[in-house]
């Protein structure tokens, strides 16, 4: 696991939550922050009086201490546009009441972490925490829980006793946003906490029976522990009361409050698990927080014309709440499967940690799943997958506020970069394609770049959308590419046949509007992910177009068509784009004299100028432009756009790199010619673009350049000034960052084709050691680890199954009969 200490803990915040469940976060000092359980993203949301503490007592020499199970607080770093280092006022108050147990250090690989405390107490204390992650199993990965295991060890020769305590505020009725002062909040009132015991677990159940079933805050929470002899202090209002309870003998403890909480207030609840540690003894105690809030609705501003629905409340619901009726059932089901789900989650982290991927690559790539399990993405009660671009926060205050979803919904041009969901949960990604074709696609064939929820409403046809104003062309081209990707990931021929008419209609629209003369080159106004209209001939849109044509050809061939028209357009376009745009150094933009110059880049060097080739490598579509020109252009991107040191750099828009940071600028003008009004966001650094460019560099074998881009980004997000689990762009947990999955596949030389059940491995030298190599992989129906040692390739499946008809290793096909690989039965294949 990667270890975080000292300054690297300042911005550390590991999300704890499943797919579409909301989450809380483990801070670097062991505190619980960023409570986002109530169907809204809010990095500054906080539940006061929710913490863990420990009482340690020893008869001789005498010790009797109650400590907060947190490390010391750190002050803000002042980094622009982030709040992961924000310390809530209620947490500061706790620290004024209780001493922290000691300095914290954290070892983490998503979705698990271990917090170790350097303490002067006579016992050693550590805390392990996780939320289940089981690739290809969306149900197991959608658990609304945070699971904690505390390990207490007595290294001395004298017995020690005490109690381990957990406290939680009853937040039923809260909206996730309104500030809470202690237990006071205008949304509270009528809250009740009750204790419950079952199968060796003691629980507090947090409810509010006064709320109607459809109230936005209606639901249930549970705090549970398996500590033997646990005592419950169900209802109290101040931490001082709970501290007094922990400090007293059973006969001296205060009597808990009873009945529903008064209007405007709630109750806190706590559990205290006693322990006795003989000399050298170790005990483990588990705690669980579970939640269940079903009433997600359209409480966010949607793009397009303003719609007056009066007092209508459009209910969307949550898929995760369909699996269990309440948080009690969630907790019971999870406890029964705790060991199984923990082992599956540990296997995920171990697969990356034990790999031969270079440096910190494994840990960083394992964390990419946090993007799709953040409040940015959710599933409705019907199972429809919907995603914002990110979660509103400090980077969006100037236009969108500090809480909620950023730029709803399913924005095609931003999700063009995302690859993680498509590999780990392909059925969910496929659902997004179904939404694009069944809901979003207009009768004329085009696809607006945002969906309106609920999806039975009229979509954004023939209206100004926003970000950009007209349907984004790059998003539409991406829909074609994603359709072919989903087929290769296992969607099946029947699905492709059902979607092919949609693809043809879409391509017919694109050709008619941007290439009516059939030249293979797109011209005219081209709305893009830069929230502006590109003009002229450019390789950003051009390579996406060329890749889409190749993907269309391949899909046509699969369906028994010749695909010649798409091939002819591709060949004509490839030749024309290269001749028109390649300067000998990189691909520029060429504008016609009558076209607007504002927001264009002209002779500039755009970081994403070859984004379509990145797609083509992932889909085995071959080169779209001459290979040597591609490599030359990518080298130029690194040479001109990768910058170290931003102290004297002017940021007209948003600051995602500053001080001594290293980052890849979106566009530079190395030979002059910067327009008076350059392309929007040119002076910004986007992690999603960095991952895309880095992966492409690796695909081209430009390993040093690719790793330089990655290391610059990872150094910015090392916990010191930014959170390694929270990429920032237009909001927190920005989904463009999920382009990073392609880095793993590029380093491993891995591809999977469900159409032929073929696995391909050709790791780069950077991912190999002298004795062989080992890499994790995900392949549609199963995931596991591939190891090559002693001239033998071994495939170990950790979950699902692998139906393999062919394996290519370093360019050669291995002799293989059809094999089905399942967990516990690895497949070893000698290499010739």
Tell which residue, 797, 691, 821, has the closest CA to residue 136. Answer: 797
Which pLDDT belongs to residue 248? 86
- Residue at token pair 């005592």: 231
pLDDT tens-digit readout, 651-707: 888 999 999 999 999 999 999 999 999 999 999 999 999 999 999 999 999 999 999
Which pLDDT belongs to residue 309? 77
Residue 629 has pLDDT above 60, yes or no: yes
d(CA 576, CA 16): 50
- Mean pLDDT, rounded, for 164-185: 99
Instruction: Give, in order, the Cα–Cα distances in Å from 503 to each of 423, 434, 477, 552.
Output: 22, 12, 10, 8
- Mean pLDDT, rounded, for 15-38: 99
Which pLDDT belongs to residue 544? 99
For residue 757, give its domain range. 751-830
* Percentage of the chain modeled with pLDDT above 90: 96
The last residue of a domain, from among 290, 317, 341:
341
DSSP string over 665-710? BSEE-TTS---SSBPTTTT-B-HHHHHHHHHHHHHTT-HHHHHHHH
Which pLDDT belongs to residue 832? 81
User: What does pTM read for this prediction?
Assistant: 0.97
Tokens, residue 204: 């507090």
Asked if the structure places residue 79 within a domain, the reply is yes
* Confidence at 310, pLDDT banded by 50, 70, 90: confident
- Mean pLDDT, rounded, for 632-653: 96
* Confidence at 69, pLDDT banded by 50, 70, 90: very high
- Residue 81 has a CB neighbour count (10 Å cut-off) of 19
Asked if the structure places residue 653 within a domain, the reply is no
Residue 332 has pLDDT above 90, yes or no: yes
CA dihedral angle for residue 407, residue 413, residue 419, residue 425, rounded to 10 degrees = 60
- Residue 184 has a CB neighbour count (10 Å cut-off) of 14
Q: Strands, DSSP E only, in 280-357?
A: 282-292
pLDDT tens-digit readout, 215-253: 999 999 999 999 999 999 999 999 999 999 999 865 566
Report angle CA 632, 634, 640 to the nearest 5 degrees.
100
Asked if the structure places residue 159 within a domain, the reply is yes
Asked if the structure places residue 321 within a domain, the reply is yes
- Mean pLDDT, rounded, for 278-305: 97
d(CA 33, CA 404): 17
CA dihedral angle for residue 740, residue 745, residue 746, residue 750, rounded to 10 degrees = -170
Tell which residue, 102, 57, 51, has the closest CA to residue 242. Answer: 51
DSSP string over 630-656? HHHHHHHHHHHHEEE--TT---SS--S
- Mean pLDDT, rounded, for 345-373: 97
- Residue at token pair 């780990």: 424
Instruction: Give, in order, the Cα–Cα distances in Å from 50 to each of 14, 30, 31, 151.
Output: 17, 12, 9, 20
Find the radius of gyration of the CA atoms of the chain. 27
The CATH number of residue 763's host domain is 2.60.420
* Confidence at 289, pLDDT banded by 50, 70, 90: very high
Tokens, residue 763: 């790791």
Per mean pLDDT, which range of 128-137, 251-260, 278-287, 450-459 is the poorest? 251-260
Tell which residue, 16, 111, 35, has the closest CA to residue 369. Answer: 111
* Confidence at 311, pLDDT banded by 50, 70, 90: confident
The last residue of a domain, from among 289, 318, 341:
341
- Using CB atoms within 10 Å of the CB of residue 63, give its burial: 0 to 12 exposed, 13 to 18 middle, 19+ buried: middle
- Mean pLDDT, rounded, for 635-653: 96
Asked if the structure places residue 784 within a domain, the reply is yes
The CATH number of residue 98's host domain is 2.70.98
Residue 308 has pLDDT above 90, yes or no: no
d(CA 144, CA 290): 6
Tell me the average pLDDT of the chain.
97
Residue 428 has pLDDT above 60, yes or no: yes
Q: 63-68 and 99-100 as β-strands: parallel, antiparallel, unpaired?
A: parallel
Which pLDDT belongs to residue 252? 62
Residue 254 has pLDDT above 70, yes or no: no
Residue 38 has pLDDT above 90, yes or no: yes
Tell which residue, 628, 632, 634, 629, has the closest CA to residue 614. Answer: 634
- Mean pLDDT, rounded, for 547-564: 98
Which pLDDT belongs to residue 36? 99
Which pLDDT belongs to residue 82? 97
Query: How many structural domains are present in the chain?
Result: 2
d(CA 259, CA 237): 13
Asked if the structure places residue 404 within a domain, the reply is no
Which pLDDT belongs to residue 313? 83
Which pLDDT belongs to residue 608? 99
Report angle CA 240, 245, 249 to the nearest 5 degrees.
145
- Contacts (Cβ under 8 Å, ≥6 apart) of 830: 791, 792
Q: Comparing 255 with 431, which gets the higher pLDDT?
A: 431
Asked if the structure places residue 641 within a domain, the reply is no
Which pLDDT belongs to residue 1? 87
Asked if the structure places residue 796 within a domain, the reply is yes
Report angle CA 389, 510, 579 to the nearest 5 degrees.
100
Asked if residues 611 and 545 have their Cβ atoms less than 8 Å apart, the reply is no
Residue 422 has pLDDT above 60, yes or no: yes
- Mean pLDDT, rounded, for 536-563: 99
């Amino acid at each position: 696991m990667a270890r975080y200490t000292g300054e690297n803990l300042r911005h550390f915040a590991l999300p704890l939550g499943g797919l579409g469940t909301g989450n809380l976060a483990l801070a670097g000092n062991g505190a619980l922050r960023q409570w986002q359980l109530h169907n809204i993203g809010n990095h500054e949301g906080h539940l006061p009086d929710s913490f863990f503490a420990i009482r340690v007592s020893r008869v001789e020499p005498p010790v009797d201490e109650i400590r907060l199970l947190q490390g010391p607080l750190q002050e803000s770093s002042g980094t622009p546009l982030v709040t992961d280092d924000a310390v809530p006022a209620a947490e500061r108050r706790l620290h004024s009441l209780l001493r922290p147990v000691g300095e914290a250090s954290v070892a983490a690989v998503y979705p698990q972490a271990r917090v170790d405390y350097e303490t002067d107490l006579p016992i050693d204390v550590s805390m392990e925490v996780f939320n289940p992650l089981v690739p290809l199993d969306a149900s197991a990965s959608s658990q609304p829980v945070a699971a904690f295991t505390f390990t207490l060890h007595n290294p001395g020769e004298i017995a020690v006793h005490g109690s381990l305590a957990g406290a939680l505020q009853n937040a039923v009725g809260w909206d996730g946003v309104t500030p809470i002062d202690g237990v006071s909040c205008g949304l509270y009132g009528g809250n009740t906490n009750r204790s419950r015991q079952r199968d060796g677990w003691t629980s507090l159940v947090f409810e509010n029976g006064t709320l109607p079933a459809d109230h936005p805050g209606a639901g249930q929470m549970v705090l549970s522990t398996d500590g033997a002899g646990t005592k419950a202090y169900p209802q109290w209002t101040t931490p001082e009361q709970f501290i007094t309870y922990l400090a007293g003998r059973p006969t001296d403890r205060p009597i808990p409050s009873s009945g529903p909480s008064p209007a405007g207030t709630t109750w806190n609840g706590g559990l205290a698990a006693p322990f006795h540690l003989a000399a050298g003894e170790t005990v483990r105690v588990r705690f669980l927080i579970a939640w269940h809030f079903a009433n997600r609705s359209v409480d966010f501003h949607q793009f397009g014309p303003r719609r007056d629905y009066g007092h209508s409340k459009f209910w969307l619901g949550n898929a995760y709440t369909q699996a269990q009726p309440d948080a009690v059932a969630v907790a019971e089901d999870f406890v029964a499967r705790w060991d199984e789900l923990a082992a599956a989650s540990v296997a995920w982290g171990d697969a990356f940690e034990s790999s031969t991927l270079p440096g910190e690559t494994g840990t960083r790539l394992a964390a990419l799943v946090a993007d799709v399990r953040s409040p940015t993405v959710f599933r409705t009660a019907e199972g429809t997958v919907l995603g914002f671009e990110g979660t509103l926060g400090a980077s969006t205050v100037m236009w969108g506020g500090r809480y909620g979803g950023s730029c709803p919904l399913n924005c095609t041009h931003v999700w063009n970069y995302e690859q993680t969901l498509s590999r780990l949960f392909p059925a969910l990604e496929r659902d997004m394609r179904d939404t694009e074709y069944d809901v979003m696609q207009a009768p004329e064939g085009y696809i607006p770049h945002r969906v309106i929820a609920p999806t039975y409403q009229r979509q954004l046809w023939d209206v100004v959308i926003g970000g950009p104003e007209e349907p984004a062309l790059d998003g539409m081209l991406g829909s074609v590419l994603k359709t072919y990707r989903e087929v290769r990931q296992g969607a099946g021929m029947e699905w492709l046949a059902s979607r092919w008419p949609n693809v043809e209609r879409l391509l017919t629209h694109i050709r008619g509007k941007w290439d009516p003369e059939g030249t293979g080159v797109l011209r005219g106004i081209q709305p893009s992910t830069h929230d502006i209209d590109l003009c002229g001939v450019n390789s950003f849109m051009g390579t996406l177009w060329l890749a889409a044509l190749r993907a269309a050809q391949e899909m046509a061939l699969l369906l028994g068509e010749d695909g010649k028209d798409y091939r002819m357009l591709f060949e004509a376009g490839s030749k024309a784009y290269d001749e028109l745009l390649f300067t000998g150094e990189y691909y520029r933009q060429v504008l016609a004299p009558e076209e607007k110059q504002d927001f264009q880049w002209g002779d500039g060097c755009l970081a994403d100028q070859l984004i379509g080739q990145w797609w083509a490598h992932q889909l085995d579509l071959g080169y779209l432009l001459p290979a040597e020109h591609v490599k030359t252009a990518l080298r130029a991107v690194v040479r001109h756009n990768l910058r170290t040191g931003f102290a004297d750099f002017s940021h007209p828009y948003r600051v995602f790199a500053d001080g001594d940071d290293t980052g890849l600028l979106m566009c530079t003008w190395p030979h002059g010619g910067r327009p008076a009004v350059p392309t929007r966001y040119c002076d910004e650094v986007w992690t999603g673009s960095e991952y895309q460019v880095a992966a492409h560099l690796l695909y081209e074998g430009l390993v040093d350049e690719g790793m330089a881009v990655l290391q610059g980004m990872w150094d910015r997000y090392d916990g010191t000034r930014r959170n390694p689990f929270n990429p920032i762009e237009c909001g927190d947990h920005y989904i463009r960052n999920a382009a990073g999955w392609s880095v793993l596949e590029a380093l491993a030389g891995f591809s999977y084709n469900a159409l032929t059940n073929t696995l391909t491995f050709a790791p780069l030298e950077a991912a190999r050691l002298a004795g062989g190599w080992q890499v994790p992989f995900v392949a549609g129906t199963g995931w596991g680890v591939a190891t090559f040692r002693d001239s033998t390739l071994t495939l170990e499946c950790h979950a699902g199954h692998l139906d393999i008809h062919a394996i290519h290793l370093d360019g050669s096909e291995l002799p293989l009969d059809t094999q089905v690989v399942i967990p516990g039965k690895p497949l070893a294949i000698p290499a010739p």
